[in-house]
Amino acid sequence: MLYRTKVLSLILILPALSFLILFFFIPSVYNFKISLTDVSLLAINEGGDFVGFENYHKLLHDPKFWRAFKNTALWLTAFTVLLRLVIG
């Protein structure tokens, strides 16, 4: 009986697990791999030169990124708090 329960639970969770793998994990790994290259989005199939974490270094040292990050955090926080106060 315990074996049947385990098999049934595996069968029931398999569609959700396949959905996560197909639509979340595979694209996430692919995007991370692309982020480590110097590839143009117009020629993404041609690959690109491996640059490692240089793209992330540029991003973290760009003042425009931090301004956009602060604006997003401020508006997201302010909007959700105000909306929560209005809705109750």
Q: Where are the domains of the chain?
A: 1-52, 53-88
How confident is the model at residue 40, as a pLDDT? 82
- Distance between CA atoms of residues 46 and 36, nearest Å: 15
How confident is the model at residue 79, as a pLDDT? 87
Nearest Cα to Cα of residue 39 among 55, 61, 21, 58: 55
pTM of the model: 0.70
| Helix intervals (H) in 1-88 | 2-20, 26-35, 54-60, 63-87
Please report, in tens digits, the pLDDT of each residue of the chain (88 residues total): 788 999 999 999 999 999 999 999 999 999 999 999 998 878 777 778 899 999 999 999 999 999 999 999 999 988 888 888 888 7
Kindly list the distances between the CA atom of residue 5 and the CA atoms of 13, 44, 82, in Å, as whole numbers in the listed order: 12, 46, 47
How confident is the model at residue 11, as a pLDDT? 95
